[in-house]
């Protein structure tokens, strides 16, 4: 009697270092591939199809989807920061446009507040560029803010609200439409009105 069948055999395709989500750090890994083999008398003879591939962390022995090999936490951090900066700029410009007029002084105020909050220097031209984008109407700020709300922490949200508030308050009066817009920004970021009030109170005290 001939005994034949098939079984999966795991082999190591590659080794290296990658960010392990479980260890939360850079760890050695092995790229494993599971392939089905045709067996004769329990001896694997003929390689058949690949059943699966995964990455195994050599520190915690956790197994992960191949995606983690392309994951760079620093790069992700930079991307989140860029989104945060965009949010700060976006709310300030929208707030500036709330009363319909833009003057040089306001633009300078945007540059200054942006610099204070993000530690990044911008110029009047950058602000005007954002103004054109908003005026062309192809920026859905609420959707954008809702999108980044899950990426940034409470401190980041408070900074965005603060940026919007400081622009609203810069011309001395906090108008009704500016107040509405501030509420809209906070709501898009998923902040409660009590949280918003707390942020404004802390700026004014
Ligand atoms: Zn690990």
* Residue 112, number of CB atoms within 10 A of its CB: 14
pLDDT, tens only, 154-205: 999 999 999 999 998 887 778 888 889 899 999 999 999 999 999 999 988 7
Residue pair 182/165 in contact (Cβ under 8 Å)? The answer is yes
Residue pair 170/163 in contact (Cβ under 8 Å)? The answer is no
In angstroms, what is the span from residue 77 Cα to ligand 1's centroid? 20
- Can you list the domains of the chain with their CATH numbers? 4-70 (no CATH), 73-204 (1.10.3680.10)
pLDDT number for residue 71: 82
State yes or no: pLDDT of 1 exceeds 90. no
Residue pair 137/79 in contact (Cβ under 8 Å)? The answer is no
Containing 77, the helix (H) or strand (E) segment is helix 73-97
Residues with CB under 5 A from ligand 1 (ion): 20, 22-23, 27, 57, 59-60, 62
Which of 6, 152, 144 is closest to 79 using CA atoms? 152
* Residue 170, number of CB atoms within 10 A of its CB: 19
Residue pair 69/55 in contact (Cβ under 8 Å)? The answer is yes
In angstroms, what is the span from residue 70 Cα to ligand 1's centroid? 15
State yes or no: pLDDT of 94 exceeds 80. yes
State yes or no: pLDDT of 101 exceeds 80. no
**Per-position b or e across 79-96, b if 16+ CB within 10 A of its CB:** eeeebbbbbbbbbbbbbb
45 Cβ contact partners less than 8 Å away, ≥ 6 residues apart: 37, 38, 39
pLDDT number for residue 2: 87
User: CA angle, 173 as apex, 171 and 176 as ends, to 5°?
Assistant: 120
In angstroms, what is the span from residue 187 Cα to ligand 1's centroid? 38
pLDDT, tens only, 8-62: 999 999 999 999 999 999 999 999 999 999 999 989 999 999 999 999 999 999 9
**pTM of the predicted model, to two decimals?**
0.70
pLDDT number for residue 154: 92
In angstroms, what is the span from residue 75 Cα to ligand 1's centroid? 20
In angstroms, what is the span from residue 19 Cα to ligand 1's centroid? 8
State yes or no: pLDDT of 126 exceeds 90. yes
In angstroms, what is the span from residue 58 Cα to ligand 1's centroid? 7
Strand partners, 59: none
pLDDT number for residue 108: 94
In angstroms, what is the span from residue 68 Cα to ligand 1's centroid? 11
pLDDT number for residue 174: 80
In angstroms, what is the span from residue 71 Cα to ligand 1's centroid? 14
Task: Give the integer Cα–Cα distance in Å for 133 and 143.
Answer: 15
CA–CA distance from 126 to each of 91, 110, 133, 138 (Å)?
A: 14, 10, 11, 17
Strand partners, 15: 30
């Amino acid at each position: 009697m001939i005994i034949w069948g098939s079984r999966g055999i795991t082999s190591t395709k590659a080794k290296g270092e990658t960010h392990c989500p479980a260890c939360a750090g850079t760890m050695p890994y092995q790229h494993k591939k599971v392939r089905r083999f045709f067996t004769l008398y329990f001896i694997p003879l003929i390689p058949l199809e690949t059943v699966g591939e995964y990455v195994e962390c050599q520190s915690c022995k956790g197994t992960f989807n191949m995606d983690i090999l392309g994951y760079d936490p620093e790069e992700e951090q930079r991307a989140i920061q860029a989104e945060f900066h965009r949010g700060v700029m976006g709310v300030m410009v929208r707030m500036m446009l709330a009363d319909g007029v833009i003057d040089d002084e306001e633009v300078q105020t945007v540059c200054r507040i942006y610099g204070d909050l993000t530690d990044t220097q911008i110029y009047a031209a950058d602000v005007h560029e954002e103004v054109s984008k908003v005026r062309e109407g192809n920026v859905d700020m609420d959707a954008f803010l809702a999108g980044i709300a899950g990426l940034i922490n409470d401190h980041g949200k408070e900074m965005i609200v603060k940026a919007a508030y400081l622009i609203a308050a810069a011309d001395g009066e906090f108008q009704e439409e500016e107040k509405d817009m501030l509420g809209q920004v906070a709501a898009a970021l998923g902040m409660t009105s009590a949280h918003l009030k707390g942020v404004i109170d802390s700026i004014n005290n």
